[in-house]
Structure 1
Amino acid sequence: MTLTFNPENYKQLLITYLPRVIKTEAENEKALGIVEDLMHRKRTLEEDELYQLLVTLIEKFEQEHYQPNQQNNPESMLLFLLEDSGKSISDLQAVLGSKTAVDEIVQGQTKISPEQARKIAAFFHVDPSIFTE
């Protein structure tokens, strides 16, 4: 038997929990409580969708509020995206057109230029600003 997503059930969950962008610590705590409850039970497809939505909202809030002074590190972000995507340095070399350029960026010897940031961002389908300091 294949389970199917029921939009009406999901709608009822959304009405019950009213998830929205988290702006305060109290809202974050409330969302964490709901996630904690959902985490420890066998979830329906609709509950799993709500769970994933809340986790995304919590992560966004926590990144903005718990790490505001953290220095943006474009090289680390680049290495993370390479690893996370399963792509290789040679894939990136094809994008930038130079092994030397990639090696210098990865080793922190040179900063990513605005043009390189645009190319890399298009390659990973992310915002170019994550590659600038």
Structure 2
Amino acid sequence: MNLQIEQAIQHWPFVAPLLRKPKTEADYDALVVVLDELTDLIGDDEIHPLMGLVDIIGDWVEAYDLAHHPMPKASGVDVLRSVMQEHGLTQSDLPGVGTQSVVSEILSGKRQLNVRQIRWLADYFNVPVDMFI
């Protein structure tokens, strides 16, 4: 038998709990705790011996997240509100969208963003156009 397999058999009872894909919320929560502890331990050391384990657990946590905790789809107006708040902007700080009253109507849902406004916002915030669609 291969030496690596023999060592794996010997150490498997200690490692096995870390190497199981999450099937339940409890499994997921346990792996998130392990991942947090590992990243605290490793820090920014990309060549740390446990980095492969971090990659594996991180992939499993991400896959479980995507399958069980999907991100809600935000509307273009929701994104606009968010970036305005993040950058501390007022309605009059967005002249490429229109006057303050136009921006107000967009934010209140009385008016929709048009293509020209979406392009201007994407350029202004340096983000993809589809963020506001």
| TM-score (structure 2 length as normaliser) | 0.52
Residue aligning to 1:67: 70
CA 1:71–1:89 in structure 2 vs 1: closer, same or farther (change >3 Å)?
A: same
For the pair shown, the structure with the greater C-alpha radius of gyration is 2
Deviation string for 1:18-44 (max 9, x for gaps)?
xxxxxx978xx59845541146x4764
Letter in 1 for 2:69: Y
**CA 1:84–1:109: 2 relative to 1, 3 Å:** same
Distance 1:102 1:61 in 2: 39
- 2:37 counterpart residue number: 37
Question: Match of 1:76?
Answer: 78
Match in the other structure for 2:9: none
Secondary structure of the residue that 2:84 maps to in structure 1?
A: helix
Partners of 1:109 and 1:63 lie apart in 2 by 33
Q: Does the CA contact (< 8 Å) of 2:92 and 2:99 recur in 1?
A: no
Aligned equivalent of 1:110: 111
User: 2:112 & 2:92 partners in 1: Cα distance?
Assistant: 19
Q: How does 1:87-126 map to 2 (within 5 A)?
A: 87-92=89-94, 94-126=95-127
* CA drift at 1:131: 1.3
Question: Using the alignment, how far apart are the partners of 1:60 and 1:87 within structure 2?
Answer: 36
- C-alpha RMSD over aligned residues: 3.7
* Higher relative contact order, structure no. (Cα contacts within 8 Å, ≥ 6 residues apart): 1
1:85 corresponding residue in structure 2? 87
**What code does the residue aligned with 1:104 have?**
E
Distance 1:89 1:104, change over 3 A: same
